[in-house]
Amino acid sequence: MNTPVTLADWRAAYAAGARPAALLGALLARMAPDDPAWLARLDAAGLATELARLDGLDPAQAPLWGIPFAVKDNIDAAGWPTTAACPAFAHTAEADATVVARLRAAGAVLVGKTNLDQFATGLVGTRSPYGEVPNTFDAAYVSGGSSSGSASVVARGLVPLALGTDTAGSGRVPAGFNQLIGLKPTPHRLGMQGVVPACRTLDVVNVFALTLGDAAEAAAIIDGPDAGSPLPRPVLQPAWLPERPRIGIPAVPELDAALGYPAPWAAALARARALGAELVPVDFGPLFAVASLLYDGPWVAERYAAIRTLMDEQPEALDPVVREVIGQARRFDAAQAFEARYRLDALARAVATLWQGLDALLVPTAPTHPMRAQVAAEPVARNSALGRYTNFVNLLGWSALALPSGFTAAGLPFGITLIGPGGADAALAQWGQRWEAARLAEPGAFLGAHLRPPREDDHALRRQPAAAPSLVLAVVGAHLQGLPLHGQLVERGCRLLARTSTAAAYRLHALPGTVPPKPGLARVAPGEAGHAIEVEVYEMPLDRVGSFLGLIPPPLGLGSVELLDGSWVKGFICEGAALTGAPDISAHGGWRAYLASQR
């Protein structure tokens, strides 16, 4: 069979009778020992241990049974070395990081630890004593960092999933440079125990995958805090964006024209509009002011705090550029740290108003893509340019999703990033699925580094990160789309799930004297003849149900309504006393048809 590259491929291979020993053994044989993306690989003895572990798991209860994954080497895995790309820091982990333990509990098999910019300090993938990780599509260019190795092994189809970390863009920039999904959760929603910190208050584990469905499923499996989470879990948002979202874009994107970035950016905007988005130019100046605090402010001291002993006692053990960057921490004192915190709080309050008029932001993942030789000549300046649209996100506690978006004329990948408020991870995944389906339907689309053409099941969204609770609601009258009260649903951010009908056990009456005109729905007694009545089924954020209830006048209310398929949802019902003398309009099959008959 063909080499599996996505979760669907691996599952299909196992369903067809392939055994983990054969598939995983073949994978290990393809993992070249001189590949700079790998810092440690599963050996024969480790494979035997993993195969025995799989034998003790029920594949039906382990959604990632037998599927390989990799992790960035600043994430602990029991019995594996953790180096953070610094030999002097290397040690053998005694326990799995929370995120690794969750993937392994789901049946996934760790096959290797991956290279990174040392101590996750960089966006280029060149700051490692173990070698530079080249770009998957053109080795003269950087892979992006700091999660360079994790991005590389997914882009080349060695593993369908890999974990990285993202503080300033380390899970988004390499995704953009290697045509990958880079799902960056909201800070503090994932358990970070067992992850070597860069900035502990900002770090988050991200997921790399070739498809949105694969990334979202892995993110759902590792979702949730642990005892090591430094701050409370963020408030979750609804699981969807509006059907026609208002999306902010940089008013002046300042893209690398010599590299050909303006053309794929224009194509990305056209695709977003085709998906129904209203694009709103936004002044990103306040966001760039937030971003400047990350490396030009005292947050760099948080990186110093993570490796203080090594910096003070063995500074020569660090990559020279990493040592220079983190060494800037010594310029700041405690008073400046508090002043910067106040500055961030003020900026955060100001930019939070964006979400009053926008549903998301859409940005180029990076404004340029440097060659490795250019980074060698100007390591700090070239690196700094790559964080233009990434550095502010975690400081503000926001969510983000990096998505592939075509290529430059020279054949380099171009990526975009969708940004949402904190807790909007599921909503970004939902809209990202639509984006991916549109992209993969375009002529010449493919997954990863020319691995294979896309299939229809590649953009299936099987699972997604948790979202705010919601209520499924059936509407039968003036709240139907296009009718006078539908705006009450729009104001509350509802999404349409289905147009269907009730079970054939209801009668519909036109209520006299109501403004605007409204019907009353009532279930018939057992044995009485009833009708199936047209309804629209919506999902409403639970925290907005109370305000909606306050708008419902008597004799109407919300109760339980049976749908045609036998399921029960909440929906509009009417007091029986109000139906006396109200014309029975059930024969029309619904309120819309009745109104048409009156015209």
Amino acid code (one letter) for 323: R
Query: 246-250 and 278-282 as β-strands: parallel, antiparallel, unpaired?
Result: parallel
| 318-331: b (≥16 Cβ within 10 Å) or e | bbebbbebbebbee
Catalytic member of 113, 128, 143, 146: 146
Give the distance, in angstroms, between the CA of residue 265 and the centroid of all CA atoms in the same chain: 21
Say whether 72 is catalytic: yes
Amino acid code (one letter) for 478: A
d(CA 516, CA 511): 10
Q: Is the Cα torsion angle 228, 230, 233, 234 positive or negative in sign?
A: negative
Kindly report the CA angle at 576 between 573 and 580, in degrees rounded to 5? 125
d(CA 37, CA 155): 11
Could you give the dihedral angle defined by the CA atoms of residues 268, 271, 273 and 275, in that order, rounded to the nearest 10 degrees? Answer: -140
Residues in a beta bridge with 280: 248
Give the distance, in angstroms, between the CA of residue 301 and the centroid of all CA atoms in the same chain: 28
Q: Is 76 helix (H, G, I), strand (E, B) or coil?
A: coil
d(CA 320, CA 333): 23
Residue 219's nearest CA partner among 181, 265, 254, 249 is: 181
Q: How many CB atoms lie within 10 A of CB 219?
A: 29
Say whether 143 is catalytic: no
Place of tokens 């961030």: 344
Say whether 170 is catalytic: yes
Give the DSSP letter string of 53-85: HHHTS-GGG-TTTT-EEEEETTB--TTSEE-TT
Give the DSSP letter string of 351-373: HTTHHHH-SEEEEES-S---BHH
d(CA 421, CA 236): 9
Q: Which tokens in the block code for residue 525?
A: 């007694």
E-assigned strand segments in 390-513? 399-407, 413-420, 470-475, 495-501, 506-511
Kindly report the CA angle at 144 between 139 and 148, in degrees rounded to 5? 90
Residues 6+ positions from 185 with CB-CB distance below 8 Å: 204, 205, 206, 219, 223, 399, 425, 465
**Residue 124 in contact with residue 135, Cβ under 8 Å?**
no
**What's the distance, Cα to Cα, between the start and end of the chain in Å?**
63
d(CA 157, CA 449): 8
Residue 384's nearest CA partner among 336, 325, 340, 341 is: 325
Catalytic member of 128, 170, 470, 501: 170
Catalytic member of 72, 113, 184, 518: 72
Catalytic residue numbers?
Answer: 72, 146, 170
